[in-house]
Amino acid sequence: MVINRHFSSYTIVVLLILSSSLFAQTSTNELNAFWIEAERQVREGDFEAYSNSFHADAILVNGLSKNSIPIKEALDDWEKGFEDTRQSQMEASVEFHFSETLLGTSSAYQKGIFHYTSEYIGQSPVSVFIHFEVLLTKSNGIWKILMEYQKDYATKEDWNSLE
C-alpha cells in the first residue's frame, strides 16, 4: 500500500511537470506565431490586422520621447506608413529578438530588441534597433499587447547578441 501511494504521488508529480512543459511550449509557440504575424503585417502594410494585435486599452510607453500614450494615438501616427507600404510607395520590415519571456496561463512579459527598416522609393533605407518590453494578455485563445515600452536605442551588436 505504501509503495502504491509513493508511486501515485510520483506519477502525479511527473504528470504535472509534463503538463507544465507542454503548456509552456504551446504558449511559446503561440507567441512566436504572434511575432511572425506582426512581421507580416508590417511588411505587407496590413494596418487593420496590426491594430487588432493590441488590446483596446493598450498603452505605448516611449522611453525615447519620454511619454506614455494610448496605443490608439500611436496607431494614428503609424497608419500612414502602413498605407504607404500597402500601396508600394515604401518598403517596411520588422524583426524581433527576445532575451526574456515570462509566461502565465493568460499573460506574458517579453523583453528584447526589434529591428525596423523603412525605405521610400528613391530614398535611402532608414533602419533602427530599439530595446523594448511588452506585456501581453490572452483572451479566447488570442494574444494581444497590453503595453509596449520602447525603452531606448539598441546597437547592431546588441541585436546580434540575442541571435
Q: What is the pLDDT of residues 73-109, one digit of tens each?
A: 999 999 999 999 999 999 999 999 999 999 998 999 9
Taking alpha carbons only, the member of 90, 83, 28, 92 closest to residue 51 is 83
pLDDT of residue 163: 76
Angle between helices 71-86 and 2-44 (to 10 degrees): 60
**CA distance linking residue 92 with residue 58, whole number of Å:** 23
**Residues in the chain with pLDDT < 50?**
1-2, 13-24
Residue 156 C-alpha cell reads as 547592431
pLDDT of residue 14: 47
- Provide the whole-model pTM: 0.83
Q: How far is CA 143 from CA 4, 16, 62, 72, 156, in A?
A: 42, 24, 22, 18, 29
Matching CATH number, 2-161, of 3.40.50.280, 3.40.1190.20, 3.10.450.50, 3.40.50.2000: 3.10.450.50
